[in-house]
Structure 1
Amino acid sequence: MIKATEFKNAMALLTTAVNVVTTHGESGSHGFTASAVCSVTDTPPTLLVCMNHSSRSHAHFVDNKTLSVNVLGAQHEHISNTFASRLPSDERFLHGSWSKLKTGAPILEDALVSFDCEIEQIQQVGTHSIFMCRVVAINQSHQEESLVYFNRAYHQLRQVETV
């Protein structure tokens, strides 16, 4: 049987994009830093987002049934740390410039790309909820450097020009 620590140590070697996932509704705006985000299909455009049940904003995402995935650029390490911290939700959004697209979930204006989504399905697996999200709007910036997470540390990934 594989122990949780063994699994976590192995997963730390999986390089992932760093994302801030947000929602907005009657209880305000909420967000968290996530690496467990991936594409499901392009027809219809769908993302998968995983969130721990114990997150203090979990219920807000479930109730609002909307979210935005903001893929962070190299300059956003402080935004990632802010949304992973214990700061109250309203204080988190004081960092960065935020606007909205179709669903009203906050998008980071200078994110590499923001996917505005409606949560269509929620599945419970162990300690997490898996949100199946239909993409209803996209905002893409002109940033060229990505923030990634590998071996428990941030790294910057730059596109290499080909000749």
Structure 2
Amino acid sequence: MQDLFQGIIPPDKAAEALGFFQKGMAILTPYLTPRTPEQRQDMLKMGPATVDFIAKAHGYATANEKFRPVILDMEEFDADAASLATLAPLHRLLGGIDLDVDSTMMTSGSDSYAAALMVYNNVKMLAKAGFPGAQAAYDDMRASLPNGGKGGAPKKPKPQG
């Protein structure tokens, strides 16, 4: 067994954290602008460097009106830049939390999947030997395998080098 994940996340701590995130979502929801994947695809892409670029451009446009194009709606730029500056630290924090939660889910999921496959293969062997109840358990588990029980076991991860 691989045992990549050790310990347990106390359910009360997970519930407490979930409550905090739900409260934060309720606070922010009136100010958020959800977009569909198609809508997001048509937007300009940005990253951390873009946030810094926007802050600099906004600073120059604010300090010197000659730097502003005539068609620029400065009030809208002010509002957008302020929202971006407000959201950037939150985005960084949540992105880090998302990555860490995802990594922990992958790790604990990989360990528990490996253990479940061991149980499955043992039950499969017992079913072939005619052990009472094993066939029903095998059929039930086989039906819920991610690949539907076809094509063998999932690929093992490549060793970290």
TM-score (norm 1): 0.20
Greater percentage in helix: 2
TM-score (norm 2): 0.20
Greater percentage in strand: 1
Q: Which has the larger radius of gyration?
A: 2
